[in-house]
Structure 1
């Protein structure tokens, strides 16, 4: 058995500045690659994303890992699918929009007006002389409300029995109707990172650095309204837990996106959660790829991984500061006289070291 990471994009990734959530599955290496589609269309005024990648296979050719030394390598990670044509259709209105590839495997729909509840949308992908299409997805019409809180605790994390953790929770006010709704949550975090301030004649500080990450990617929180007979009731949910580290030395936001999704999307994420939580007993489901809602137009038997969902969404934010943290946090980037620049960690010298970072402050940074 070999490991590969399926890029399960939580729609919120438009809000999440192109962070890609990764969930580990153990799968047999197949004789041919499989397409992975990750994307969500929301009613928020944000950039919409679709991510395309391809699984490993026995037939996969190596790629050059070191251009200068011509070193070739083969790994089990999905590789981005480049040069695809990705289009969005609205069945009722006949409108067509095309995504633009902004980097390898990442396709963006910029300036798209938020979709209206009740309308059906389809995603179509042209790649490698094949055409893939999603099952029609109808925009849900209701969503709940989140009231967020955080707490700090000492608990076991892997081999550490006293790990310092933060938990993000919500008192969720459910939609004011009986059944007929399905909810999912995704949590993104954005924090300010203090680069090392080296003395200089002009006393010029380093540029600001804002880092974006997905929080607790393997926690999949779902609510099936069909199982509840409590219109407008309040439900408590733990949405994310993560290790407390130096990212909490400054303001650290948790952006929670609540998604109202279709029943089919809920069933898909329930299966993913079941697979992620598989403990290996004889009663567990076997590790196997989960078919999503994408299909090959000319070969319906081909298994396409991932999911394209259409969701009504609502964002709620909460943040912590250093004063909130009850644990000791070492200053790792503090300037020390006589210490050479090469002795500092790379993350202390450049914001670009972080995979998803920017010097641009989010518009909402001081709204709360």
Structure 2
């Protein structure tokens, strides 16, 4: 059973200046287009996002990349939707499409405690909704550490890698709670400095991504001993490479969410971690919390959540790395320019990058 056969995008982490979408693998039936909705609205002071796409069907036209046409199984962004965040007073706020398939709620909007919210999506004559949710009352705090080591990593021996741990202060509440850790990364990338008459350096380049996209770290607080105040979690592991030649951040979000959301992500984790065999029956797509108001039997993929989030960051610098890391972009006058990787020449070669310094980069 090949888990990498079909993909759809789920939101795990949303950076304050931009968004990154992680890909979780699900087996889907070709020939049947399905809507995919994912997103999170939280208490954090940043823009919030809902992503809408549609899985590939057999009769879909080839995708034009800007240079040539391709056929693939990736979901295509939905650009014709109207997306609203609605509270229990029936007050609606429109999310504006900032990029294809990416609908943005401005950071000026603040969730209220004790108020229920849901999403309404109008697209292709259909109305899609989520069940009402309220923001959880409590979330814990993370104290982050890291450890560099060499050993077996994802089935390969003698690999240098880093592990990110959280010493978690659990929420102070008598009520049940459910936690998930989302981790993204950001690092400075040194573009090749080619000599020039004005001695102008290349522009800054900041790259964003997910260090350990298939790891889903969960904690069920239902049965926690009343005297337990903390817990240690391994939240990410990543191979050491040239991205550690400069400052390299790991941004960890502790997400306090509902029991339904916890169960959804638990099932996703089971599916992602299940290698299966040729004798296994293909698992069905996991049911989320989005439904067609006119046709409840329609299968809609993905999950939308209202969450309370606490965010922590930790970074490494080259002096922290105890392994030799080759600098791939170092200028060599005898080296032809076409011998440099494209990522040494242009920051835009990375799927998610910017020349602008994130506002939090020097906070620590």
Residue equivalent to 2:50: 50
Greater mean alpha carbon deviation, residues 329-338 or residues 279-288:
279-288
Selected match of 1:206 from 202, 207, 226: 202
Selected match of 1:85 from 79, 82, 86: 82
**2:62 aligned with 1:63, yes or no?**
yes
**1:227-266 matches, cutoff 5 A:** 227-230=223-226, 233-266=229-262
Task: Tell me: CA distance 1:225–1:16, structure 2 relative to 1, closer, same or farther (3 Å).
Answer: farther
Q: Which runs of 5 or more structure 1 residues have no equivalent in the other structure?
A: none
The CA distance in 2 between the partners of 1:360 and 1:64, in whole Å, is 30
Greater mean alpha carbon deviation, residues 78-87 or residues 110-119:
110-119
Residue equivalent to 2:8: 6
The CA distance in 2 between the partners of 1:160 and 1:284, in whole Å, is 26
Selected match of 2:180 from 181, 184, 192: 184
**1:109-120 matches, cutoff 5 A:** 109-120=105-116
Residue equivalent to 1:152: 148
The question of whether the paired residues in 2 share the 8 Å contact of 1:189 and 1:214 is answered with yes
The CA distance in 2 between the partners of 1:295 and 1:8, in whole Å, is 16
**1:227-306 matches, cutoff 5 A:** 227-230=223-226, 233-280=229-276, 286-306=282-302
Task: Tell me: CA distance 1:14–1:130, structure 2 relative to 1, closer, same or farther (3 Å).
Answer: farther
The question of whether the paired residues in 1 share the 8 Å contact of 2:28 and 2:285 is answered with no
TM-score (norm 1): 0.93
Q: Secondary structure at the match of 2:274?
A: coil
Residue deviations 1:156-213 (CA, integer Å, cap 9, x gap): 2345211111111000010122441111110010100000111122211111001111
Residue equivalent to 2:192: 196
The CA distance in 1 between the partners of 2:116 and 2:345, in whole Å, is 48
Residue equivalent to 1:311: 307
Greater mean alpha carbon deviation, residues 353-362 or residues 276-285:
276-285
**2:141 aligned with 1:141, yes or no?**
no
Q: Secondary structure at the match of 1:99?
A: strand
The question of whether the paired residues in 2 share the 8 Å contact of 1:81 and 1:104 is answered with yes
The question of whether the paired residues in 1 share the 8 Å contact of 2:17 and 2:358 is answered with no
The question of whether the paired residues in 2 share the 8 Å contact of 1:90 and 1:96 is answered with yes
Report the Cα offset of residue 341 of structure 1. Answer: 2.1
Greater mean alpha carbon deviation, residues 307-316 or residues 97-106:
97-106
Task: Tell me: CA distance 1:331–1:30, structure 2 relative to 1, closer, same or farther (3 Å).
Answer: closer
- Counting matched residue pairs gives 362
Residue equivalent to 1:20: 21
The question of whether the paired residues in 2 share the 8 Å contact of 1:255 and 1:315 is answered with yes
Task: Tell me: CA distance 1:233–1:281, structure 2 relative to 1, closer, same or farther (3 Å).
Answer: farther
The CA distance in 1 between the partners of 2:281 and 2:269, in whole Å, is 11
The CA distance in 2 between the partners of 1:72 and 1:347, in whole Å, is 23
The question of whether the paired residues in 2 share the 8 Å contact of 1:167 and 1:241 is answered with yes
Residue equivalent to 2:127: 131
Task: Return structure 1 stretches of 4+ with deviation > 3 angstroms.
Answer: 64-68, 281-286
Residue equivalent to 2:92: 96
Query: RMSD of the TM alignment (CA)?
Result: 2.0
Report the Cα offset of residue 343 of structure 1. Answer: 1.9
